Structure 1
Amino acid sequence: MDKFIAKVIGDANHHAANLAAVIAPLSNAVRARINLAIDKVEVYERNDQLARTCWVTISGRRYVFTYNYGSGQIDLKVGSLQGALRSSFDNNTPAGTIAHQTARL
Structure 2
Amino acid sequence: MAITAKDVEELHTYAAGVMGRADHHAGKVKGIALALLGGIIWRGEPDSIRIRRFAGSPANMLWVNIAGKTYVFAYNHETEKIEIRGRTQTGAVLHAFDDTNTAADIEAAFRAL
* Cα distance in 2 between the residues matched to 1:90 and 1:16: 9
With the length of structure 1 as denominator, give the TM-score of the two structures: 0.90
Partner letter of residue 39 of structure 2? A
Partner residue in 2 for 1:5: 15
Give the gaps of 5 or more residues in structure 2.
1-10
2:105 to 93, 97, 103: 97
Structure 1's unaligned 5+ residue stretches are none
The answer to whether residue 65 in structure 2 is matched with residue 60 in structure 1 is no
Amino acid at match of 1:71: T
How many residue pairs get aligned? The number is 103
Correspondence for 2:43: 33
* Secondary structure, counterpart of 1:18 in structure 2: helix
Q: Within 2, Cα distance between the matches of 1:35 and 1:63?
A: 11
RMSD: 1.2
Per-residue deviation at 1:47? 2.1
User: Which residues of 2 match residues 9-20 of structure 1 at below 5 A?
Assistant: 9-20=19-30
* CA deviation vs aligned residue, 1:43-90 (integer Å, no higher than 9, x gap): 000221211100001232100000101101101001001111110011
In the alignment, the residues of structure 2 paired with residue 65 and residue 34 of structure 1 have an alpha-carbon distance, to the nearest angstrom, of 12
Give TM-score scaled by structure 2 length.
0.84
Q: Select which of 78, 88, 91 maps to 1:83.
A: 91
d(CA) in 2 for partners of 1:16, 1:93: 15
Q: Is contact 2:45-2:64 (8 Å) kept?
A: no
Alpha-carbon distance in structure 1 between the residues aligned to 2:94 and 2:112:
10
Give the conservation status (yes or no) of the 8 Å contact 2:73–2:84: yes
Describe the shift of the 1:82–1:35 C-alpha distance in structure 2 as closer, same or farther (beyond 3 A): closer
